[in-house]
Structure 1
Amino acid sequence: MEYGGKFMYQIRTDLALETQEKMQEDHVDLKGVRFLEEKVDKNITVSTVVIETENGAKTMGKPKGTYITIEAGNMDEEDEDYHREISVQLAKIIRQLIQEKNEELSVLVVGLGNREVTPDALGPRVVDNLFITRHIVKEYGKYAFGEKNVNRISSIVPGVMAQTGMESLEIIHGIIDETKPDLVIVIDALAARSTKRLNRTIQVTDTGINPGSGVGNHRHGLNKKSLGIPVISIGIPTVVDAATIVNDTMFNLIAAMSQSKAFDMLGDSLKELNDGEKYELIRELLSPNLNAMFVTPKDIDESVKRLSYTISEGINIAFMGEGLPA
């Protein structure tokens, strides 16, 4: 990529916040992109990236829309009150992004991913913990809940193409045609640029999602254009590109070499490489065996289990907790 004559390498991340940070570091003029950061709690930060123009979308490499990120440094810890606080914050963001302001909504929740692969099992696990209501409302009416207005929640885990032979888009299209929901919420595992954001960050956006994009398996996008109704996507980064980790290590190595007289010459020669050249050098060194490798934390089993509850509780609160705002 080139911006203002300067070569930029494409960092592997699904987080708009990380892309925005990288652009700022490289002093790229982000016209048509707004950024807002709010400290909700001493351990919870909510950042909003709004891409307003086609030029801004081209610069960021992401569709126009709103990208809201919840960063919680202790999200990987077992603290029910803390996770409840994150769920409440997630519920507020979901309500904020809902375009349909009906008193009652029909919502289809889609859990993307492969249940058999732990880092990719976030979507299916979230669906397992949802409060599903559509069948009850259809059978007994909304008054079965003792409420005047009840949102109808349904869900599907479409699996992956290797299991079904079908694109997720094809499966979801068929369900939408049959059940006519007002809104689709898609949950998927993401890839991050920074290891510190693994299992500690939730991104919510109204732009939809491309299944498998985190690990380079680009499928048909799930968005308002392809599905015909609003789509909100929720994701947590569970993997990071191996080349990115080595790139960060190389950066630290160069910094350390600069402090050592014995490595002055080697450190200076590496320093002369720009970010893109360093990244390409690393990818060549990793090829062919490690080039496509993605890394996940060793406690990913417990993390996915815990985080799936956090997201499902946020969705449950958003639609069944206190009702939708007027």
Structure 2
Amino acid sequence: MAFRTDLAVEALENMEKAADEQQVRQTDRDLEGFSVREVDILSEHAARDIGKPRGRYLTLELAALMRREEDAFPRACRALGTLLAELLPETAAQRPILVTGLGNRMITPDAIGPQAIDHVIATRHLVEHEPDIFSSWRAVSAIAPGVLGQTGVETGEVVQGVLDRIKPAAVLAVDALAAGRLSRLLRTVQLADTGITPGAGVGNARSALNEETLGIPVIAIGVPTVVDGATLAHEISAQLGEPQCEALEDLSRPVMITTRDIDREVADISRMIGYAINMALHPHLTVSDIDLYLS
């Protein structure tokens, strides 16, 4: 079976042969004490081999945040904010931005997007109506469009309708992803300039949100919250020499696996993402400032 993951770093790790350095570039760095791996897929041929669209992927490892190390939260916010600012196109400088939180708030592993939106400071109305006070702020709109089963409207249709009205320079789309390995659940944030396909992480892919479909740049912010049971069974079986094991065969049925502390971990990382978005779009803000504005 195919190794299923939404993470570019895992897709590369699972390739049978090493990626051509002329077609895929990988670099590592440290930011605010967190490790960052950048994967640049440079050709359509490499994109087909890896199974990810051509573009730039930044993966921030957040184990220290989930261990609640001292000062980990503000450092993680600054690190993610810095990476987001790198991916925002130069043409979007100081222009309006739409932040959309994808997913179902009622299903915890799928609630990353809607919960992150709760921590984003919406400023479009303030910039328009109080320009003397908010002239130094960027106009930001934030929506959580829900899912088709709740609204009867495709996410892409909701987003397109908002775009037609507010005409932002770019979209930041926050969503839950699927990882291939348990060790990366809620310990990793992947940023990509390739857009995102809502529902893909749980095998219910909808229309893609990307520059091709929306007509403006779409920056995806994704956090793996589940592992596909069949992928996990395949990995365990392969590492054990492919034994015949009924328990592993049971995992091959459609099932998603997540962590025991999913409620707390989703709440923690969603807050961090919301704060990082604020800091990327309004560089003058600190964590204390955001606490004040959101209180």
Give the TM-score normalised by the residue count of structure 2.
0.90
Does residue 13 of the first structure (1) align with residue 5 of the second (2)? yes
Q: Post-superposition shift, 1:105?
A: 1.7
1:172 aligned onto 2:159: yes
Matched position secondary structure for 1:75 = helix
Output the CA distance in 1 between the equivalents of 2:204 and 2:2: 16
Is 1:319 aligned with 2:242? Answer: no
- Is 2:133 the counterpart of 1:144? yes
- Contact persistence 1:103–1:149 (CA under 8 A): no
Give a deviation string over 1:261-286, Cα, whole Å, max 9, x none: xxxxxxxxx48xxxxxx9xx989933
**Residue 71 of structure 2: SS of its match in structure 1?**
helix
- In the aligned structure 2, how far is the partner of 1:318 from the partner of 1:161? 30
Q: For residue 40 of structure 1, what is the aligned residue in structure 2?
A: 31
Report the counterpart of residue 78 of structure 1 in structure 2: 68
After the TM superposition, which segments of 4 or more aligned residues of structure 1 sit over 6 Å from their partners?
281-284
Aligned-residue RMSD, C-alpha = 2.2
Cα distance in 2, alignment partners of residues 235 and 282 from structure 1: 33
Q: CA deviation at 1:32?
A: 1.2
Question: Structure 1's 283 and 15: CA in aligned 2 closer, same or farther, altered over 3 A?
Answer: farther
Aligned partners of 2:173 and 2:219 also within 8 Å? yes
Preserved CA contact (<8 Å) 1:247 1:282: no
DSSP 3-state at the match of 2:6: coil
Task: Give the whole-Å Cα distance in 1 for the aligned partners of 2:19 and 2:82.
Answer: 31
TM-aligned CA deviation for residue 153 of structure 1: 0.7
Among 296, 299, 322, the residue aligned to 2:261: 299
Are the equivalent residues in 2 in contact too, given 1:133–1:153 (CA < 8 A)?
Answer: yes
1:100 deviates by 3.0
Q: Kindly, what percent of the aligned residue pairs are identical?
A: 39
Aligned positions of 1:268-283 closer than 5 A: 270=242
**Residue 236 of structure 1 pairs with residue 261 of structure 2:** no
Q: What amino acid is the match of 2:273?
A: I
Whether the 8 Å CA contact 2:173–2:221 is kept in 1: the answer is yes
What is the 5 A alignment of 1:155-304? 155-254=142-241, 270=242, 285-286=249-250, 291-304=253-266
Whole-Å Cα distance in 2 between the matches of residues 32 and 210 of structure 1? 24
Provide the C-alpha distance between the structure 1 equivalents of 2:246 and 2:45, rounded to a whole number of angstroms. Answer: 31
The CA distance in 1 between the partners of 2:93 and 2:6, in whole Å, is 33
CA–CA separation in structure 2 for the residues paired with 1:85 and 1:41? 6
Deviations for 1:200-241, whole angstroms, at most 9, x for unmatched residues?
A: 000000000000101111110000010011100101101011
Gaps of 5+ in 1: 1-8, 255-269, 272-277
How far off its partner does 1:291 sit? Answer: 1.1
Q: Are the aligned partners of 1:243 and 1:283 in contact in 2 as well (CA < 8 Å)? A: no
Q: Secondary structure at the match of 1:166?
A: coil
| 1:112 aligns to 2:102 (yes or no) | yes
The letter of the residue matching 1:18 is: E
Larger Rg: 1
Q: Aligned to 1:243, what secondary structure does the other structure show? A: helix
Structure 1 pair 52–77 and aligned structure 2 pair: CA distance change class (3 A): same
Of 239-248 and 116-125, deviating more is 239-248
Residue 53 of structure 1 pairs with residue 43 of structure 2: yes
Structure 1 length as normaliser, TM-score? 0.82
**Matching residue's letter, 1:310:** M
Kept in 2: contact 1:72–1:201 (CA 8 A)? yes
Give deviations 1:252-306, integer Å, cap 9, x for gaps.
544xxxxxxxxxxxxxxx48xxxxxx9xx9899337xx61100110100000111
Contact 2:77 2:272 in 1 (8 A): yes
